[in-house]
């Protein structure tokens, strides 16, 4: 973490400008080349969205090299494994899917009509698109409830690993570089402000229907709320360990399991993600409750760990 008590305005401004500029230009390139309907070129849209995720990393590299050099890039941006590593790795890997599924359960209790949990018509429609030979080979695995469970388990176990290269592109920037640079403002302000910046960075993708297909404009505000809440939790992992890697795993798990909500709607009518899932307001309540638990248990705000050493375990545990 930066030891200076003064905000590096020049470095932060340059970082935000480059991160936004790189990523937004990627999306602009897609719009100019393929239009504003991602569903017509889904493969290219996914590729461009993945490329845009490296904007924060590009900004980190350029700013830390040319604008505001850091004494130690590895230490000051959390590239080491940090403290309490295994506890936080497991929490990120296994806890994140539980939170996502908890948000779905809460959504089902509040808006049962928004999801087809009994018939799983969207899952049935997805299975119907598979070649008959593939369905026959799957056997009982092609039964809707089993197929859905398999998608969740695969996403929870393999998603974090498969997503690491892309999620690193974001997390090294947002939690690795930006969050520590904002700490002179105070920990809570840094967590909230970095979350706002992170959320608004998604604006071009959301305008194209990402995350909130029914609310492309309002979705920018909605996802900023989600980003602040998620950013506090990911930032807690970063600050408590002195490392970005638990945040990378949690973010990767979220991206792998979160889209399961789209399989729970009625066939031909995707659920309103402003109302259900981790991106909907029931998800906000759950995330806010988790933040509250961290505050009540005095884990937030965090006393930064000693990053000068790559500690092997939970010895020298720090308390808030």
Residue 223 has pLDDT above 50, yes or no: yes
Q: What is the mean pLDDT of the chain?
A: 92
Q: Is the pLDDT of residue 242 over 90?
A: yes
Q: How far apart are CA 292 and CA 289, in angstroms?
A: 5
Closest CA to 139 of 149, 127, 125: 127
Q: Is the pLDDT of residue 42 over 50?
A: yes
Residue 211 within a domain = yes
84 pLDDT band (50/70/90 cuts)?
Answer: confident
Average pLDDT of the segment spanning 262-272: 89
Residue from 166, 162, 154, 151 nearest 260 by CA: 151
What was the pLDDT predicted at 302? 95
pLDDT band at 267 (very low <50, low <70, confident <90, very high): confident
**Residue 305: its pLDDT value, please?**
52
- The total number of structural domains in the chain stands at 1
What is the percent of the chain with per-residue pLDDT over 90, rounded to a whole number?
A: 82
Q: At what angle do helices 96-110 and 144-171 cross, to 10 degrees?
A: 120
Q: Spell out a b/e string for 204-241, using b for 16 or more CB atoms within 10 Å of the CB, else e.
A: bbbbbbbbbbebbeebbebbbbbbbbbbbbbbbbbbbb
Give pLDDT tens digits for 8-21. 999 999 999 999 99
* Model confidence at 203: pLDDT above 50: yes
**pLDDT band of 103, cuts 50, 70, 90:** very high
Q: Is residue 18 part of a domain?
A: no
* Residue range(s) defining the domain that contains residue 144: 81-296
Is residue 63 a part of any domain in this protein?
no
Distance (Å, rounded) from C-alpha 143 to C-alpha 227? 35
Name beta bridge partners: 13.
none
Give the whole-angstrom CA distance, residue 317 versus residue 305.
8
- 276 is a domain residue: yes
State residue 317's pLDDT score.
Answer: 36
- Residue-level pLDDT at 5: 77
Question: Domain for residue 318, yes or no?
Answer: no
Confidence of residue 304 (pLDDT cuts 50, 70, 90): low
CA dist 276 and 266 (Å) reads 13
User: What is the crossing angle of helices 9-34 and 55-62, to 10°?
Assistant: 140
What string of H, E and C letters represents the secondary structure of the chain? Answer: CCCCCCCCHHHHHHHHHHHHHHHHHHHHHHHHHHCCCHHHCHHHHHHHHHHHCCHHHHHHHHHHHHHCCCCCHHHHCCCCCCCCHHHHHHHHHHHHHHHHHHHHHHHHHHCHHHCCCCCCHHHHHHHHCCCHHHHHHHHHHHCHHHHHHHHHHHHHHHHHHHHHHHHHHHHHHHHHHHHHHHHHHCHHHHHHHHHHHHHHHCHHHHHCCCCCCCCCCHHHHHHHHHHHHHHHHHHHHHHHHCCCHHHHHHHHHHHHHHHHHHHCCECCECCCCCCCCCCCHHHHHHHHHHHHHHHHCCCCCCCCCCCCCCCCCCCCCCCC
Q: Residue 318 — very low, low, confident or very high, per pLDDT cuts 50/70/90?
A: very low
pTM reported for the whole predicted model: 0.91
Mean pLDDT score, 214-238: 98
**127 in any annotated domain:** yes
Lowest mean pLDDT among 82-86, 104-108, 246-250, 282-286: 82-86
* pLDDT tens for each residue of 129-178: 999 988 888 888 989 999 999 999 999 999 999 999 999 999 999 999 99
CB atoms within 10 A of CB 246: 29
Measured CA to CA, the distance from residue 156 to residue 109 in angstroms comes to 23
Evaluate whether 14 touches 67 at the Cβ level (below 8 Å): yes
Residue 320, in any domain of the structure: no
Distance in angstroms (rounded) separating the CA atoms of residues 144 and 125: 10
Is 7 inside a domain boundary? Answer: no
């Amino acid at each position: 973490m930066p030891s200076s008590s003064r905000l590096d305005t020049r470095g932060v401004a340059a970082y935000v400008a480059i991160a936004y500029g790189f990523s937004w230009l990627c999306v602009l390139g897609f719009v100019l080349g393929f239009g504003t309907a991602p569903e017509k070129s889904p493969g290219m849209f996914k590729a461009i969205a993945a490329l845009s995720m490296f904007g924060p990393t590009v900004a980190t590299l350029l700013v830390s090299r040319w604008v505001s050099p850091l004494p130690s890039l590895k230490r000051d941006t959390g590239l080491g494994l940090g403290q309490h590593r295994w506890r936080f790795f497991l929490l990120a890997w296994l806890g994140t899917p539980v939170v996502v599924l908890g948000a779905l359960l809460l959504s089902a209790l509040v808006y049962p009509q928004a999801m087809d949990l009994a018939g799983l018509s969207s899952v049935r429609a997805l299975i119907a698109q598979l070649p008959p030979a593939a369905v026959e080979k799957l056997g009982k695995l092609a039964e809707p409830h089993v197929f859905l469970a398999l998608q969740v388990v695969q996403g929870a176990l393999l998603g974090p690993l498969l997503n690491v290269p892309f999620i690193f592109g974001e997390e090294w920037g947002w939690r690795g570089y930006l969050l520590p640079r904002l700490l002179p403002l105070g920990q809570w302000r840094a967590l909230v402000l970095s979350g706002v910046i992170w959320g608004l960075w998604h604006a071009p993708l959301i305008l194209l229907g990402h995350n909130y297909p029914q609310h492309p404009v309002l979705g920018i505000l909605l996802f900023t709320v989600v980003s602040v809440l998620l950013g506090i939790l990911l930032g807690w992992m970063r600050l408590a360990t002195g490392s970005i890697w638990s945040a990378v795993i949690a973010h990767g798990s979220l991206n792998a399991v979160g889209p399961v909500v789209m399989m729970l709607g009625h066939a031909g009518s995707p659920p309103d993600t402003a109302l259900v899932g981790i991106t909907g307001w029931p998800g906000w309540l759950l995330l806010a409750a988790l933040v509250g638990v961290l505050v009540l248990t005095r884990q937030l705000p965090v006393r930064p760990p000693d990053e000068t050493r790559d500690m092997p375990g939970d010895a020298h545990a720090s308390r808030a």
